[in-house]
Structure 1
Amino acid sequence: MMVPLGVVMRRTPGVTRWAAWAWRAVAVLPGASPADWRELRRDGDMVEYHAGTVMLDLHHTQTEAYLSALAAQVPSVFVMLRNRAGADLASAPFDVVLVTASPFEAQDYADNGEDIVEKVPMPEGLVALVRDFIEAHHEEEVFKKRRRDKLGEGPAQDGIGDARIVQPRDVFATPERMRRGRLN
């Protein structure tokens, strides 16, 4: 199931002299039309933009992850952003790459070090849609304890170094010690 989601980014003045602006993903707009950094609201120095619209792809094999997202204190989606090369930091510094309802997929993007992952609260309508999707497609996996294959324990060693096998002499003795007859 695919749902178009618009991503709302908020720009506020930076709090340090090294960052003129602070950017955050603050909301998603289910069913949004395509947009490219369209200004939505301005309040003094704070500006909100509809940064872009991407498709939220719900897949039947990921229902366990969606359950985890809905079980959170605040059900959320995760927005993946990537820095635009040579972009103006005051107007449109990011490309919206993906929006996902899977915290596991979001973790993969966070681990790559290239992308910025923002957690955004799900609107009530989107929570209901994801919950309905889970109810329609979720299948509990039955736990199966794996048993070891008794035949495939590996090749047998010849006993060298095995403390359970009595050796007539020290198999790890150096040739020098063996010539002198000292095996201890």
Structure 2
Amino acid sequence: MPLGIVLQRAPGVTRWAKWSWKATAVLPGAGDAEWRELRREGDIVEYHAATLQIELHGAETEAYVHGLGADVPCVYVVMRPIPGATERPFKLALVTASPYEAQDYCDSAEEVVEKIAMTPGLLAWVQEFVEEFHQEEEFVKRRRDRLRTDRQQDGIGDPRIEKPADIYASPTLKRKRLA
């Protein structure tokens, strides 16, 4: 499904950041757009920055269930900063409904991940997908082997490496003789 991503530019609150950027909304079924201005109120401007495809995968249904169980179900937008760019400082890379995938991008610290509340139509679409493809996996506890391997000592270290002395012996202090 194509999702338009809306970014908001507002004046920065510190002297180091002239502008503050935030992803504020998604537009399900939006057409192509490249930084089209949607609304302006004083210094605050909202742009339809890009339209990305959101894809749902059958193997990720557990993540979607986790995301749908949140107080506010969200989609996540992954943005890559463009060094030195001021007017269009981000390249929008990905939009996903999987909180697990979003967490993977957060771990790298190279991308900016923004969380946006799902629209009612998008929420219904994801829920329908989960209802059709999700299968609960039964937890199976692994049983240990009864074989005890700790009762005999095989030796110390790697037998292929020859050792000139006991490796657990205390080091001796060699003193220089004064002549």
Output the TM-score relative to the length of structure 2: 0.82
The answer to whether the aligner puts 1:118 opposite 2:114 as a matched pair is yes
SS at match of 1:136: helix
**Partner in structure 1 of residue 164 of structure 2:** none
Q: Using the alignment, how far apart are the partners of 1:57 and 1:156 within structure 2?
A: 55
Q: Using the alignment, how far apart are the partners of 1:118 and 1:15 within structure 2?
A: 19
**Residues 121-165 of structure 1: CA deviation (Å, up to 9, x unaligned):** 0000000000000000000001111112345948941488xxxxx
CA root-mean-square deviation: 2.4
Residues 118 and 154 of structure 1: CA distance in aligned 2, closer, same or farther (over 3 Å): same
**Partner in structure 1 of residue 143 of structure 2:** 147
In structure 2, list runs of 5 or more residues that go unmatched. Answer: 157-167, 173-179
**Residues 70-125 of structure 1: CA deviation (Å, up to 9, x unaligned):** 111111111100011332x2x21100010111111111100101000101000000
Alignment counterpart, residue 8 of structure 1, candidates 6, 9, 15: 6
**Partner in structure 1 of residue 94 of structure 2:** 98
In structure 1, list runs of 5 or more residues that go unmatched. Answer: 161-171, 177-184
Question: How do 1:166-177 and structure 2 match up within 5 A?
Answer: none
Q: Using the alignment, how far apart are the partners of 1:16 and 1:158 within structure 2?
A: 65
Q: Using the alignment, how far apart are the partners of 1:85 and 1:152 within structure 2?
A: 58
The answer to whether the aligner puts 1:133 opposite 2:129 as a matched pair is yes
Q: Using the alignment, how far apart are the partners of 1:155 and 1:112 within structure 2?
A: 44
Specify the code of the residue in structure 2 equivalent to 1:125: G
More displaced stretch, 95-104 vs 140-149: 140-149
Q: Using the alignment, how far apart are the partners of 1:28 and 1:142 within structure 2?
A: 35
Residues 84 and 139 of structure 1: CA distance in aligned 2, closer, same or farther (over 3 Å): same
Residues 112 and 173 of structure 1: CA distance in aligned 2, closer, same or farther (over 3 Å): closer
Output the TM-score relative to the length of structure 1: 0.80
Q: Quote the offset at 1:35 in angstroms.
A: 1.4
Report the number of matched residues.
162
Q: Quote the offset at 1:34 in angstroms.
A: 1.5
**Partner in structure 1 of residue 37 of structure 2:** 39
Alignment counterpart, residue 55 of structure 1, candidates 53, 63, 76: 53
